Structures are given as structure tokens and as C-alpha cells.
């Protein structure tokens, strides 16, 4: 199992647009083969900063998603709203 965290920062005026994009595609992402869970989180101190937290079967599943039409559509609509470069981490559980 791979845990994936992506940090994104948006221009204030684009927050609602991003939320709509994510809401409209969340079920599709969650249903993508190899994806076990997806959630959207917002920083409590900076409303422009969001995180996605997702669980994937393996790296191959993440790569398949990143090469999919769904990702290209969602990312294409999202990346033009950023006010900073996004960051992403694939992490492994150490202690739970």
C-alpha cells in the first residue's frame, strides 16, 4: 500500500473553482483501478493551501492514474489555478 500526499496552493480567487473541480471528479478518482481512498484537506491557517491524501495498491497504480485521461483532464484544469509549485510525496507507514 502506498500513501500519497500532494500539497497544492491556489490563488484565493480560484479556491471555489478548485473545490468544484475536485468535487466533480472525486468519485472518478476514487474509483480508479488501484485507488483505495482519496480525501481533500484544507490547511486551517492558510485557506489557499490544500492537500490530497490517497491510498494506492502500488506505484504501478499511481503511474497508471498519472498517465490516464482522467488525470490529464483534472490536472490540466487544476494546475492553471496554482499560486505556487505543487509538491508530492509517496510515503510508507512506519508505525501505526
Instruction: Name the residue ranges covered by the structural domains of the chain.
Output: 2-91
Q: What is the mean pLDDT of residues 8-30?
A: 97
Q: Which CATH architecture has domain 2-91?
A: 2-Layer Sandwich (3.30)
pLDDT of 32 above 90: yes
Mean pLDDT throughout 42-59? 97
| The pLDDT value given to residue 10 | 98
Query: What Rg value do the Cα atoms of the chain yield, rounded?
Result: 13
Q: For the segment 62-91, what is each residue's pLDDT rounded down to a tens digit?
A: 999 999 999 999 999 999 999 999 999 999
Quote the percentage of the chain above a pLDDT of 90.
Answer: 94
Residue 92 binned pLDDT confidence (cut-offs 50, 70, 90): confident
- Distance set, CA 32 to CA 10, 61, 62, 71, 95 (Å): 25, 9, 10, 10, 27
For CA atoms 39, 28, 83, 6, give the dihedral sign.
Answer: positive
Instruction: Using the predicted structure, report yes or no on whether residue 96 has a pLDDT greater than 90.
Output: no
pLDDT above 90: residue 20 = yes
Amino acid at each position: 500500500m502506498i500513501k500519497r500526499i500532494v500539497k497544492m496552493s491556489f490563488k484565493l480567487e480560484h479556491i471555489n473553482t478548485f473545490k468544484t473541480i475536485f468535487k466533480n471528479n472525486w468519485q472518478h478518482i476514487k474509483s480508479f483501478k488501484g485507488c483505495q481512498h482519496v480525501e481533500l484537506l484544507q490547511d486551517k491557517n492558510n485557506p489557499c493551501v490544500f492537500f490530497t491524501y490517497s491510498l494506492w495498491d502500488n506505484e504501478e497504480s499511481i503511474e497508471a492514474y498519472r498517465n490516464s485521461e482522467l488525470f490529464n483532464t483534472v490536472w490540466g484544469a487544476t494546475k492553471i489555478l496554482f499560486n505556487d509549485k505543487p509538491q508530492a510525496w509517496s510515503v510508507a507507514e512506519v508505525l501505526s
